[in-house]
Amino acid sequence: MYEKLFDLINQGKFTAARNEIVEMNVVDIAQFLEEIPVEKLLVIFRLLPKEIVADVFSYMPIEDKQHIIEAITDKEIRHIIDELFLDDTVDMVEEMPANVVKKVLKNTTKEERDLINRFLKYPEYSAGSMMTIEYVDLKEDMSVAEALEHIKRTGVDKETINTCYVIDKGRKLQGIVSLRRLILSDSSKRIKDIMNTKIISIPTHLDQEDTAMLFKKYDLTAMPVVDTESRLVGIITIDDVVDIIEQENTEDFHKMAAMEPSDEEYLKSGIFNLAKKRIAWLLVLMISATFTGAIIRNYEDILQSVVILAAFIPRLMDTGGNAGSQSATLVIRGLALDEIKLKDTLKVLSKEFKVSLVVGVALASVNFIMIYFFERTDIRIAFTVCISLFLTVVLAKVVGGTLPIMAKKMNLDPAIMAGPLITTIVDAVALMAFFSLSSWILGI
Amino acid sequence: MYEKLFDLINQGKFTAARNEIVEMNVVDIAQFLEEIPVEKLLVIFRLLPKEIVADVFSYMPIEDKQHIIEAITDKEIRHIIDELFLDDTVDMVEEMPANVVKKVLKNTTKEERDLINRFLKYPEYSAGSMMTIEYVDLKEDMSVAEALEHIKRTGVDKETINTCYVIDKGRKLQGIVSLRRLILSDSSKRIKDIMNTKIISIPTHLDQEDTAMLFKKYDLTAMPVVDTESRLVGIITIDDVVDIIEQENTEDFHKMAAMEPSDEEYLKSGIFNLAKKRIAWLLVLMISATFTGAIIRNYEDILQSVVILAAFIPRLMDTGGNAGSQSATLVIRGLALDEIKLKDTLKVLSKEFKVSLVVGVALASVNFIMIYFFERTDIRIAFTVCISLFLTVVLAKVVGGTLPIMAKKMNLDPAIMAGPLITTIVDAVALMAFFSLSSWILGI
C-alpha cells in the first residue's frame, strides 16, 4: 500500500514523500510514520505542515512521541502543546520518562502546568482523568445570536462545539444546548428558553466503566463532568468512550482467561512482562488442582481394582469445565452489559438449573450410547460414568451461573469467576461424585 | 427509585404519574415503562406529550413496541412512523410478526415502503442495514450562509446535522463539511473551498465489525455510506457503532466459551433456546475428550502398576488448559482489535515460545517442591510430572498462540479456537507425553 512512499523515503526524497503524505488522513499518517526508522520519521515529521502536525502527533504511539519531543526545538514543542487538547497532553505527561516530561513542562505556561497537575490528581480510570476542559460555555441570558457569535469567537480551540454547556456565575451547570438546537432556533430567543435542563452529568470520581455505561444508556456523544458542588469542570466525548469500552472488554477477556489484565499491546509487550501477568493465576490454579489429585489419591484402591475408570477422568473434567465456562461467561457478560442485576440471582439460578437438566440428559444419553454400545464397557461402569456426567453438568452450570453474581455482591470483579476457577472447583466435586458412585455401584 | 411513580400508577392516578414521567429522560421513561404491566403501559404511553412519544417508543423493547402498535390508532401510528428515523422503522419491521408489520406498513407512504424494502435487501450485519438516510446534503457551489439556511430549513428531520455531505448532481460524494466548520467559516465562502475532500467512506456491503473498526481508527462520529458507483446512499452514526462494538464483543465472549453466539438477552431467553446454543459444542468437545480417554486406556498397564500417576492427571490437564487459554485469548483479542495482523504469525509463535519457557520453568519448579518435599513422592515420579508439566505448558502456549491466527488465515472466526478447543487438543498430547515419559523414566 505504501510501497511508493517507502521507496521515496529510502531514496532520501523527503519533500516528494511529504507531498504525498499530506494528502493522507492524519490517522493514516501517524500509522505510516510508525513503520519507518526513527531518523527518517523525524525528518518527515518536521516537514509536515503546521496545521496538521499536532493532530498527527496525537495519534502516534508514545515511543515515537518521546523521540520527537527529544529531537525538536522548544518552539516546535510549544506549537504542539498549544494545539493539543489538554487531556492528550496529560496522557502524554503520565506515560513519558521524567527527563522528557521536563522538556514538555518547560514549554507550558504556569496556568497550563497547574491544570495538568490538577488532572494528574484525579484517580486513574476515573471520569476526571478522562475529561477535557476545552468545551463551549454559554450563559442563560444570552440570545441565540449572541451564543453563535460567542461560539464563532472561541470555538476553534474547543474539542467539540456540537454540545454547549450553560453555566451560572458560580460555574454551576444550568442546562445543555446542542449546536443543532441553536442553529434551528430563532436567533432572538434566549438560551434559557431553549436549553435542556434534564441534565445527565458525571461526577469526577465516577469509574470509567460506569461512565461508558451512561453514554451507552443515553445514546449521547458528549457528557458534562461536575464536581461535588455540581460545578462544571469538564466534558467527556464519545471518541474517548469507545476506547474505554474496548479497554474494559479487553480487561474482561484477560481476567476470564486467568491473567492479570494489561493495557499494553501484545506485540509491544516484553517476554517477562507477559510471563509475569500469567504465572500468578496459573500457580494458584495448579495448586488448587492438587486437591483434585488428592481426591484421586484417596480413591486409589478403587482405581487399582478398576483401572479403566481413569480413562473417563478427562471426559468428566473437560465437560464439567466447558459447561461451567458457558454459564459463567453468559452471566459475566450479562452483568457487564447491565442486563443481569444483582436482584436476579434466583432467576439465574433457576434458569441455569433447568438448562443444566436439559443439557445434562442430552450429554449423558449420547455418552451412554458411546460407552456401552461402541466402547463395549461394562454396563455398570457406563451407568456410573453417565450419572456422574449428568451431576457434573448440573453442578457446573449452577456454580458457573451463581459465582459471578456472588462475586459482584462482594464487590469483587465477576470476571475472575470465569472458566479457569470454576473448572478447578467443579473438577474436585465431579471426581468425588464419580469415585463415590463407582464404589457404590461397582460394590468395591 | 420509582416507588412513588409505581404507587401513583397502582392507584390509577395516571395523569399525576404522567406529569412526573415527562420530567424524566426519554431513555429512563422507556426503561420505567418496561417495568409496569402492559395495560397500564398503554394508558401511560397514550398520555405522553406528542413531542417525546416517538423518542420513548424507539427506546422500548420489541415486545412493548408490538403491544403498542396493536393497541393504538392508525393516526397515532402514522405520527410515530413520521418521527422515527428510517433505520429504527426498518429494525422494527424486521423483528415484528407479520400481522403487526402489516399494520405498520399500512400507515406508510408508497415511497417509505419502497425505502424500507430497499433496506431489507441489504445483507444482515452489513453497513447498508445499519445506515440511516436522514442526513444533510449540500452542494459545492453553495455559500456558507446558503448552506446554513438550507440546514435550518431541513435539519429538523435529520439524524445528525453535525456533519454534512457535499454531493454533485449524480449524488456522487464530493466532500464532507462539519457544522463546526460552517459556523466558524466566513459566511460568504463557498462550500467547495472549506469542505474536506479526504473522504473516508464505507461501502454498503461492508461487515458491521469492519465498519466499527473504521470508526475506532479514525475517531469519527459519523461516516458516509456509498454504493459501488460512490454515490452517497446513507450515513452511519457513532451511537449505532457503540452498540455494534458491544454486540461483536458479546459474540466473541460466547464463541470463546464454546457456545453459539446469541443476540438475545440472557434473562429473556427460553430454557430450550439456551440449551440448544450450548449442547452442540459440548458434545463435540466431549467426544474429542474420549480420545484423551483412549490414550489413558492405552497406557493402562503403566497406570495399573503405578496407580498414583492418576493423581497427577488433573494438575497436568488443568494447567495445560489454562496456559493455552491465556495465549489463545491474548491472540484472539489482539486480532479483534487489529493489533495483531496475519503477517505476525512468526512473531507470535516466537513470543509465545519464549514466554512458555519462562512460565514452564516457574511452574515446574514450584511443582517439584510440592511433589517431592511436601507430598513426599518418589523423586523419579516427581521428575516425570515436572518434565511433563513443562512440556505441556510449552505446547499449550504455542498451540494456543498459533491456532487462532491459522483460523483467521483460513477465513474462520479466530474466537472458536479459544480455551475449550485448545484444552481438548492439549490434553491428549499432554497425557501422551506424561505416560511415555513415565514408562521410560520408571522403566515400566
For residue A25, give the chain B residue with the closest CA: B198
Q: What is the pLDDT of residues A11-23, one digit of tens each?
A: 888 888 888 888 8
Max alpha carbon distance in chain A (Å)?
95
pLDDT given for residue B90 in this prediction? 83
pLDDT band at A1 (very low <50, low <70, confident <90, very high): low
pLDDT at A156 over 80: no
Cβ pair B413, B407 in contact under 8 A: yes
- In one-letter notation, the amino acid at residue A32 is F
Terminal-to-terminal C-alpha distance of chain A: 71
- Domains in chain A, start-ordered, CATH in brackets? 3-121 (1.25.60.10), 137-236 (3.10.580.10), 289-441 (1.10.357.20)
pLDDT at A422 over 70: yes
Distance from C-alpha of B256 to C-alpha of B250, rounded to nearest angstrom: 10
Q: Taking the CB of residue A75, how many other CB atoms lie within 10 A of it?
A: 8
Average pLDDT estimate for A250-264: 78
**The C-alpha cell of B102 is what?**
402489516
pLDDT given for residue B96 in this prediction? 82
pLDDT band at B335 (very low <50, low <70, confident <90, very high): confident
Average pLDDT estimate for A47-56: 87
A243 contacts B242? CB cut-off 8 A: no
**The C-alpha cell of B397 is what?**
502456549
Most B CBs within 10 Å: which of A87, A153, A242, A345, as the mutation test of the B interface?
A242
Helix axes B38-47, B14-21, angle to 10 degrees: 70
**Residue A83 CB burial class (10 angstroms; 0-12, 13-18, ≥19):** middle
B216 contacts A243? CB cut-off 8 A: yes
pLDDT given for residue A190 in this prediction? 92
A238–chain B nearest CA distance, Å = 8
Q: What is the pLDDT of residues B249-261, one digit of tens each?
A: 888 888 877 777 7
**The C-alpha cell of B156 is what?**
429538523
Type and span of the H or E element at B74: helix B74-83
pLDDT given for residue A290 in this prediction? 79
Average pLDDT estimate for B208-229: 88
**The C-alpha cell of A383 is what?**
451407568
Query: What is the value of pTM for the model shown?
Result: 0.78
Torsion of CA B259, B261, B266, B272, to 10 degrees: -60
**Residue A141 CB burial class (10 angstroms; 0-12, 13-18, ≥19):** exposed
Highest mean pLDDT among A94-98, A177-181, B98-102: A177-181
Type and span of the H or E element at B388: helix B379-409
Q: What is the pLDDT of residues A210-248, one digit of tens each?
A: 898 888 888 888 899 998 888 888 899 888 888 888 888
% residues pLDDT > 90 (chain A): 7
pLDDT at B7 over 90: no
pLDDT at B264 over 80: no
Q: Taking the CB of residue B243, how many other CB atoms lie within 10 A of it?
A: 15
Q: What is the pLDDT of residues A259-312, one digit of tens each?
A: 777 777 777 878 788 778 788 887 887 787 778 888 887 887 787 777 788 888
Residue B350 near chain A (CB below 8 Å) = no
Task: Please determine, for the modelled complex, whether the ipTM score is greater than 0.90.
Answer: no
Average pLDDT estimate for A110-118: 82
User: Per DSSP, what are the bridge partners of residue A266?
Assistant: none
pLDDT given for residue B432 in this prediction? 85
Q: What is the mean pLDDT of chain A?
A: 85
Phi-psi category of residue A411: left, alpha or beta, with phi > 0 → left and psi -120 to 50 → alpha: left
CA angle centred on B173, ends B131 and A5, rounded to 5°: 105
**The C-alpha cell of B212 is what?**
466499527
pLDDT band at A381 (very low <50, low <70, confident <90, very high): confident
Burial A42-67 (b: 16+ CB within 10 A, else e): bebbeebeeebbbbbbbbbeeebbbb
Report the residue from A257, A347, A424 with minimal CB separation from B267: A347
Average pLDDT estimate for B153-180: 86
Type and span of the H or E element at B290: helix B271-298
B186–chain A nearest CA distance, Å = 10
pLDDT given for residue A20 in this prediction? 85
pLDDT at A444 over 80: no
Q: What is the pLDDT of residues B37-59, one digit of tens each?
A: 888 888 888 888 888 888 898 88
How many residues would you count in chain A?
Answer: 444
A156–chain B nearest CA distance, Å = 7
pLDDT given for residue A347 in this prediction? 86
pLDDT at B1 over 70: no
Residue B42 near chain A (CB below 8 Å) = no
Contacts of B415 (CB under 8 A, 6+ apart): B251, B252, B255, B256, B332, B336, B404
What residues in A contact B348, CB-CB < 8 Å? 266-267
pLDDT at B197 over 90: no
Average pLDDT estimate for B308-324: 84
Distance from C-alpha of A17 to C-alpha of A139, rounded to nearest angstrom: 48
**The C-alpha cell of B55 is what?**
423518542
DSSP at B337 = T
